[in-house]
Each structure stands twice: as structure tokens, then as C-alpha cells.
Structure 1
Amino acid sequence: MAGFRRLAFGLRPELRALARTNVRPSPRRTPDPGGPGRNGFPRTSRTRGPGRGQDLGRGIGPPMKIFERIVTVLGFITLAILLWKFDAAVVWAQVSKVGWGFLIILPMQLCDHVLNAVGWRYAFSASDASRIPFRQLVRIRVAGDGVNYLTPSGTIAGEIIRPGMLADHIPAEARNSSVVVAKFAQALGQAFFALAGMLVLLPLRLGFLPGRQIINGLAGALLLMLVAAASLSALLVRRRDGSYWLRLSGTVASLREQMGRYLRCYPGRFALSAFFFMLGFAWGAWEVLVICFFLGVPMDPITALSVEVLSVVLDSLLFMVPAKVGTQEAGKTAIFAGLGLPAGQGLAFGLVRHIRELVWAGTGFLIYAWDRRRRAARASAVLPPLPAEPAARAD
């Protein structure tokens, strides 16, 4: 959930990666001869008949297949290492302490995925969003987050696989554009949450975080929002002669045109997208309260918000570490100690949250692996039979 730090370096690599994947239009839709649709977005219509889905396999080229296989292998290797790394006795002790509380802690993450799915839904145009079942968005959010968590890709791999999982619903340009728009909205939502949290921390006079450092944190959050706005401007704003400030070509330029139409026609939807992503980050504070309740750690709402804000900031700085190996437990230990809480309780909290993250990451990764296998089976089922070799003529 830590993506806004990369905005300072631009999103051209992500744009290129998304544009190179799934660039063929959906096989179930053909251009409507009636002309452009509402607000300049192209109209599409469903095709019917035995040819349905025939081009799906062709839309996944060899580079994408290699990428998906690498992601699959790396994800399972990381998950296996994490399960081996944890001391079984320590894990069992913490699980026993929480007990039946895991029946509440584990399902709580679904609310976070639902809020993020709502944020992603608003990253589509209104007409495209109406064609996608909401449960499908939730399922893909879970799968993409699982891939991001378990692969050393800096939270990029999960974004690349999301458009392919939506292949049956809307054209490729709209799918890819929605992922990039949602990434910007998520970055802004994260920055707004960090900014609001720092404002809450400012009057607390924390011993390990002096007022000057909190002010510096506020300035940093504002700077990140300015960087996000500047990145969008450099990507989408035109000069007086109609050309773009940032020159792109090919499929990346087409993706930019789609994003520009969305932001011009639906600024309110973009604001709602960022708002729901911010709520997704804020939901973590409720999880802090619930986990601490079952661990027997006294925790008030303001302290829980402080824990979550500092966790989000720390995770954003260490976003390149796959599966938060070592950073989850060490980070929570330092945060609890800084807030005047026992460091051992911070370690226990970090371990419980890591268990929850691993369960959901494994679930998401299995969803992705199953979906990839299903798409491959569908693609092979519609391949035409090989032509028969002509019989050799007798001399």
C-alpha cells in the first residue's frame, strides 16, 4: 500500500509496462459504427457467437507469459521462505494468545479491499464502471495486492496483472488507464491520510518525535502531493500549440489520451477515488484497536491512529522489501516503544498483523494463479486445429 514515494521519480516505467501488456482490444467488443459515445469515449458493443473469446490467447504475448511465470515462481518462493522463517513455537504462542480473535481479525481486511475496490471503480468512466461486476473488482484487488506483497517488484507487478484479469469486460485502453489513474488516486489518498495523521500527532508532543520533525513530516506530505500534481500536469497538460509537455509515443501516448479524457470528463470521480483509497488507509486504525484488544494491550483511538499513520509512513519508505520481511515486526516494535508502549507488545502486534497479511496475500496469489490457469485453458480451447499435412504423392 505504499506507492506515492515513487511518484517523485515519475511513472513512465509503469506506464510503459502497462501499455505493453494487454494492448489488444477485448475480443467481446467491437467498435460501434454509431460514432463516439458520451463525453468523447469510444462506444463499444458486445459480440456474440462461437467466436467469443477467440483472440484472448493472442492478446497475451510471450513477454507477458514469461512475466506471469516469473511472478508466480517468485511469489511461491517468497511465501515458502516466510513460512520457514517464522519460529513455529513463537507463531503458535501468538496465535494461541489471540485465539478466536483471528475469526474477527482476518475478515476485517475484506473491508479494506472493498474500499480500495470502490476507489478503483471510480477510476473508470461511469459507463465502463457499470459493465464490471463489483465482486470482480474486489477479487482482482485481492489478487493484485497478493502479487504486490509476495514479489520483489516495488508494488508494480500487481498493477501490471490487473488489466489482464479484466479482459472480458472493457477495452484494453480503458483497463490500463484505470489502473494508472487508480495508482495516482491511491498515492493522493495515502498522502492525505499521512497529512491528516501528522496533524493529529502534532499536539501530542511525543518524546521520540519532536514538533519540528512532525512539521517536517507535514511539509513532506504536502511536497508529495505537489509532486503527484506536477506528475499529472507533466503527463497530461498541453502547450499552446496543442502538443504535450512530456512527449510519448505509440501505445503509451494512447494510454495518456484515455487518461486525459477521463480526468477532463470525470474530475469528481477522481476525487472520490482518492477519498475511498484514503478511507482504506484509515481502516487500518480500527484493525490496530481490534488486534490490541485481543492481545490485551491498552489502546485508545488516538494512539491507534498514531500507530497506523507511522506504520504507513514507514511502509512507504520500505516499499521495496517483499512481504515486509523483517520490517513489519521491527517497525511495530520501534513505533510502540516510541509511543511509550512495551516494545514486546509491539513485536507481538507486528507478528499478528504479519500473519493476517500472509493469509490474505496467499489467498490473493492463489486467486491470481487460478485465474491465469483459467485464461490459459480458455485460450487453448479456442485455438484452431492444425491443418492436415498433404499426403505424399506416389511416384
Structure 2
Amino acid sequence: MRKIHLMIALAALGPFAWVIAHVGLSTMVAQLKAMRIALPIVMALSVLRLFLQSTTWSASLKGENVAVNTTKLIGVRLASQSMGYLTVLGPVISEPMKIKLLGTSSVPTITATCLDTGVYWFTSALGAISGIVCLPLIAAHGATYHWTPVILALAFAVFAITRRKPILAGVVRALGRRAPSWLARAEQCETSIRTYRLEQPALVSRMFWIGVACQLLVASEVVVVLWSLHLPIHLSAVMTIEAVTRALKLVSGWVPARVGFDEGGAVSAFAVVGFSPMLGLDLALTRRVRDLLWALMGILWLVWNTRRLSHRHAITRRHPSNVSGRGI
């Protein structure tokens, strides 16, 4: 398993280099110079959001009697997100990878991690809906109906997450013996998550409000970029820009580093709110530089953690009595 983690980390360097080459190193250097004030602030906001996300994950794990220190959770999150960001698999690889890298009991870890992810994406969907609702306040007449399917899809997501009864249970019962094994496992996971929410409402409420704080930090990145570009800052414009870019981010998760989609989404968002579309590239490139820095740190953490575990395993084999009782 340790060799596999090392191979994954080394393989991720290929897509990382491809993204740098595709975007253009000179373009990124120029962006760093142009956004030398905004980028550090955006990074600081991202660090705070990363800490809050790891805090909710830790709380969710503790609710399942799984104790993992926050530093490791941050490293695991960065490593898994870097794989999801740089590959075509996106969340399909990042979520299971988080569970594998923790190395804890699988069933409670899966339940707690899925709950943490679900609460975060629930707050993210609420933020997207809030931004899209702001469209009639700023968009051109007759243009807002194009966003009706998106609003309906996000509203359905909110309904699916908040309802008390499981959704997949009815599907599994309807299929009977023809239900695939992966669907049955997904149904069990959904049931565990919804039971968890009913048994520990205070914890889930706390996770929800921390998730809301995270969404405000994400929206604050738009505020910082608008401020650095000396553009007027209006709540409706900020929420709309964030909603449009987030919607395209969701549908482009299969594209490595979302190359092209992040830029196109930011340009479209700036055009919708009446700003110069080309200024949207400043937001997209600022966030891309941030994401690439986090991806690099995630890869480095994965390599370091793999080497550390290999070293500890070697010591354990040579001197088993000296390391008995220690946890990894």
C-alpha cells in the first residue's frame, strides 16, 4: 500500500507539469506580479478554510469514536484533493483516498467522512442557489430563464440531503436481487449518515455553520479580487460570480485541473454581472495558482508520509519491542 501511495504521488507530477505547461509558466508569473496583493490574501483565506474543514472532519470522526489529529487530516485532505484536482477521476478518487490514507477503522471512517463531505456540499449548494437567485437583480432581461434547470437541480440536491428518509433504500427494494452490490453499499452508507444526523443533531448543526463560514470565505476571494481590480463590490455581483464559477466547477470535475473551464466560467461570470469579461481571467488565474500550490503541497505530503511510514515499518520489523503500543 505504501508503494502504491508513492507511485500515485509520483504519477501526479505528470499532470501537474502538464497543467503548468498548458496554462503557461510565463502567464502564471505575470499573474503573480499583477495579483501580488490579492494572491496572498486569497491564500490566507484558503488556509483558514482548510483548517475549518479539517475541524469539522475531526468532529465528525470523533462522533464515531475515531481520533485523528488535525495536522494529519490537513495532510490527507491536501493529498486526496490534489489527486482529484489533477486527474480525470475527480471526487471518484479523492473521497475514497481520504479514507484509505487515514488508515482507521473503515466503517465509522466512511460514515463520518461521507457526513462531513455531505454537509459541506450542502452548504455549497445553498451558496450556489443564493447566487443564482441574485441573477434577476443584475442580469439582462430574459436571460435568467437559462438558469432555471440549474436552480431546479440544486434545489433537488438540497431536498435530497435534508430529507429524513433514505432515498436509495426504495431503489434497492425495488430492484430486489438485481440490485448491484455497489448500490447496496451506497444505501447502507446513506442510512448510516441519516441516522447519524438524527442521533447527533448538535454536532451536525455545528458542522453546518462551519460549512457556511467556509462558503463565506470562498465568496470573500471574489471580493478580494474585485477590490484589487478597483471594481465596485456589490453583494449580488459577488454571489452571482461565485455561483456561476461554482456551477461550471461542478460539471467540469472530470477535466484535469479544470483547464479551460475555470477561465471560461470566470469570464462568463464577469460578463453576466456587467464587468469586462477579460478581467474574469484575473480571478481564474489567481485561484489556479492557489490550487496548484495546494496540489504541490498535497503531493509532497503524500511522498513524505509514505517515506515516514516505510521508515517506521522498517524499525518495527527490526525492533518490534521498542515500538509496541505506538500508533501510526
Settle same-fold status: TM greater than 0.5.
yes
Alignment-derived partner of residue 201 in structure 1 = 135
Residues 306-317 of structure 1 mapped to structure 2, 5 A cutoff: 306-317=240-251
Q: Which letter does structure 2 place at the counterpart of 1:145?
A: Q
Distance 2:38 2:78 in 1: 22
Distance in 1, Cα, partners of 2:255 & 2:172: 39
Q: Is the 8 A contact 2:270 2:276 kept in 1?
A: yes
Code of the residue aligned with 1:193 in structure 2: it is G
The answer as to 2:19 corresponding to 1:85 is no
Q: TM-score, normalised by structure 1?
A: 0.68
> How many angstroms does 1:316 deviate by?
0.7
Per the alignment, residue 80 of structure 2 pairs with 144
TM-score, length basis structure 2: 0.81
Deviation at 1:81, TM superposition (A): 0.9
How many Å separate the matches in 1 of 2:121 and 2:93? Answer: 17
Partner residue of 1:117?
54
Aligned to 2:69: 133
The aligned runs of 1:45-194 (5 Å cut-off) are 60=1, 66=4, 68-69=5-6, 71-126=8-63, 128=65, 131-167=67-103, 170-194=104-128
8 Å CA contact 1:333, 1:344 repeated in 2? yes
Say whether the 8 Å CA contact 1:176–1:255 is kept in structure 2. Answer: no
Deviation at 1:200, TM superposition (A): 3.0
Give structure 2 stretches of 5+ with no counterpart: 320-328
Aligned twin of 2:322 = none
* Distance 1:239-1:140 versus aligned 2 partners, 3 A rule: closer
The one-letter code matched in structure 2 to 1:93 is A
Structure with the greater alpha carbon radius of gyration: 1
Structure 2 contact 57–113 (Cα < 8 Å) conserved:
yes
| CA distance in 2: counterparts of 1:307 and 1:379, whole angstroms | 49
Superposition pairs of residues 1-395 of structure 1, within 5 angstroms: 60=1, 66=4, 68-69=5-6, 71-126=8-63, 128=65, 131-167=67-103, 170-202=104-136, 204-207=137-140, 210-228=143-161, 233-235=166-168, 252=185, 256=189, 259=193, 262-383=196-317
Matches of 1:83 and 1:158 in 2, distance apart?
Answer: 21
| Rounded Cα–Cα distance in structure 2 between residues aligned with 1:310 and 1:233 | 30
8 Å CA contact 1:329, 1:350 repeated in 2: yes
* Shift, 1:214, TM fit: 4.2
How many residue pairs get matched? 315
One-letter amino acid matched to 1:329: E
Mapped partners of 2:142, 2:237: distance in 1: 14
CA distance in 1, matches of 2:273, 2:53: 29
Give distance in 2, aligned partners of 1:308 and 1:221. Answer: 14
Highest RCO, 1 vs 2 (Cα 8 Å, sep ≥ 6): 2
- Shift in Å at residue 99 of structure 1? 2.4
Per-residue deviation, 1:311: 1.0
Alpha-carbon offset, residue 90 of structure 1: 2.7
The whole-number CA distance in structure 2 between the counterparts of 1:285 and 1:80 is 29
Please give the alpha-carbon distance, in whole angstroms, between the structure 1 residues aligned to 2:267 and 2:172. 50
Q: CA deviation at 1:380?
A: 3.4
Instruction: Encode CA deviations 1:228-279: one digit per residue, 9 max, x unaligned.
Output: 4679714568999xx99x7859x94997486465344224423433443343
Distance 2:52 2:58 in 1: 10
Deviation per residue, 1:72-101 (Å, 9 max, x gap): 244211111122223343333222222244
Residue pair 1:78, 1:150 contacting (<8 A) in 2 also = yes
Which residue pairs with 1:34 in the alignment? Answer: none
Give SS of 1:156's match.
helix
* Aligned-partner SS, 1:382: helix
Whether contact under 8 Å (1:116, 1:280) holds in the other structure is: yes
Distance 1:147 1:76 in 2: 10
Aligned partner letter, 1:153: L
User: Is the 2:80–2:298 Cα contact (8 Å) retained in structure 1?
Assistant: yes
